[in-house]
Amino acid sequence: MIRSLLATALMSVAIPAAAASLPNQPVQTLDLARYVGQWHEIGHLPMFFQRKCVDKITATYTANDDGTIGVHNACRVKDGSMEASDGVARKVAGQPAALQVRFAPAWLSWLPMVWADYWVVDLDADYQWAVVGGPSRKYLWVLSRSPSMSRTLFDQIKERARQRGYPVDNLVMAAPLD
């Protein structure tokens, strides 16, 4: 009886570790000058603040003079209109692809809870697609410079995200796959 309880306990620890065969960490390098610009969302894990978005989801990043990154997110909602939100991202010291983003007003920026982790965890060498997540694995976005992506490429990206421990079976598709 004790052996089976011990075996069950060991298996419950080993299975999640085995499921994440790639480390969930930001990519080693990120050239922000190449990263800024418009990205189209291909898919995301369900998020409360995106509950109204239907499609045409974009994120546009601009370099600010103070070293931060302006963030403009937009999407088409069910009634056909567009909704948008603006925020700012800041670099995390020592990790070029780990950022923090906030959409709360600037006067609240001193509160740690208004900043969310924004990790670029997978990135095309030519900056044509990117995958954004975080340490909790509760959110994930697959982004592309073009409004669609090939199914083959998407499946490869999705598999690497699965290997990092993200629940990719829950992805909400926001754009067509070719």
pLDDT, tens digit only, all 178 positions of the chain: 433 333 333 343 343 444 568 999 999 999 999 999 999 999 999 988 888 999 999 999 999 999 999 999 999 999 999 999 999 999 998 899 999 999 888 888 788 788 999 999 999 999 999 999 999 999 999 999 999 999 999 999 999 999 999 999 999 999 989 8
Q: Considering the entire predicted model, what is its pTM?
A: 0.85
Kindly list the structural domains of the chain, giving each domain's residue range(s) and its CATH number in brackets, ordered by start: 2-173 (2.40.128.20)
Q: Alpha carbon of 123 to those of 8, 27, 104, 117, 130: distances in Å? A: 37, 7, 27, 17, 4
The rounded distance, in Å, linking the Cα atoms of 103 and 106 is 8
C-alpha 88/C-alpha 103 separation (Å) is 7
Cα–Cα distances in angstroms (integers) from residue 77 to residues 30, 56, 80, 147, 170, in the given order: 32, 9, 5, 17, 20
